[in-house]
């Protein structure tokens, strides 16, 4: 395991990312959220690509108890959990967390909404479809899960209304919400909600997102080409 995770790297922020994942997960792995936040904030970073051996190592688990990505390392500071990392980065960016106290609080509220209200049901559907598609129990359970997802999408679209972003201007809440909605890309559920489909496309069109996505995909391509 690289010593980076135990000893730190004072030269540049380091973000851990998987060296390889199945095609259905490419572009969805949670280091994308952190990369996007760093791009929006204009903060340089480097990615540390890891494989199964590093992921399960004692050194990595000392920094990420569950062996997931990303780990965020900045000097002596080590963080895990994408939401916490995006909030930390947002402290340096008025794009992600507005200077106005009330607007800032609302941005944080939407970030937690994305993780606690939307992702918990969306991830259930994704796991059923991608990991257990042939299981009878999954087929029986899926309609109820899909209905919950549809309800949440309807409620979110209603709240978004005709605004471009959830609180009128792009914030960390939109960043997180977009990455959560993208989990449904194997379905047409977002496309069936025109307001949300346009919202996701609007957020994905941001140059910072495009740079973050390209960087993640480049890491996969580099490993696959070897």
Residue 151 Cα to chain centre, angstroms: 22
Residue 1 scores a pLDDT above 50? no
What's the mean pLDDT when you consider all of the chain?
Answer: 94
Residue 2 scores a pLDDT above 80? no
Residue 183 CA to residue 180 CA, distance in Å, equals 6
Domains of the chain are 4-94+208-220 (3.40.30.10), 101-206 (1.20.1050.10)
Residue 18 scores a pLDDT above 50? yes
- Among residues 188, 184, 167, 60, the alpha carbon closest in space to that of 123 is found at 184
Residue 42 scores a pLDDT above 70? yes
- The structure tokens listed for 61 are 């688990």
Higher local confidence (pLDDT), 178 or 4: 178
Q: Provide, rounded to the nearest whole percent, the portion of the chain with pLDDT above 70.
A: 93
Preceding amide of 31 cis, omega within 30: no
> Would you state the pLDDT for residue 53?
93
Residue with tokens 């914030």: 171
């Amino acid at each position: 395991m690289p010593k980076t995770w135990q000893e730190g790297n004072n030269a540049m922020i380091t973000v851990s990312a998987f060296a390889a994942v199945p095609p259905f997960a490419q572009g969805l792995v949670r280091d994308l959220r952190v990369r996007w936040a760093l791009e929006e904030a204009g903060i340089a970073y480097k990615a540390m690509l890891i494989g199964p051996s590093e992921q399960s190592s004692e050194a990595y688990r000392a920094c990420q108890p569950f062996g997931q990505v990303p780990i965020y390392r900045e000097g002596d500071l080590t963080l895990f959990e994408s939401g916490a990392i995006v909030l930390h980065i947002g402290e340096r960016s008025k794009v992600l967390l507005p200077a106005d106290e009330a607007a800032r609080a609302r941005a944080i509220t939407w970030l937690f909404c994305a993780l606690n209200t939307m992702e918990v049901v969306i991830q259930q559907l994704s796991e059923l479809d991608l990991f257990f598609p042939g299981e009878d129990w999954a087929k029986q359970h899926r309609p109820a899960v899909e209905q919950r997802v549809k309800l949440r999408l309807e409620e979110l679209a209603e709240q978004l209304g005709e605004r471009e972003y959830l609180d009128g201007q792009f914030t960390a809440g939109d960043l997180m919400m977009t990455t959560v909605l993208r989990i449904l890309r194997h379905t047409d559920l977002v496309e069936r909600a025109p307001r949300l489909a346009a919202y996701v496309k609007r957020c994905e069109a941001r140059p910072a997102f495009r740079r973050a996505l390209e960087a993640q995909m480049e890491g996969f391509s580099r490993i696959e080409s070897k």
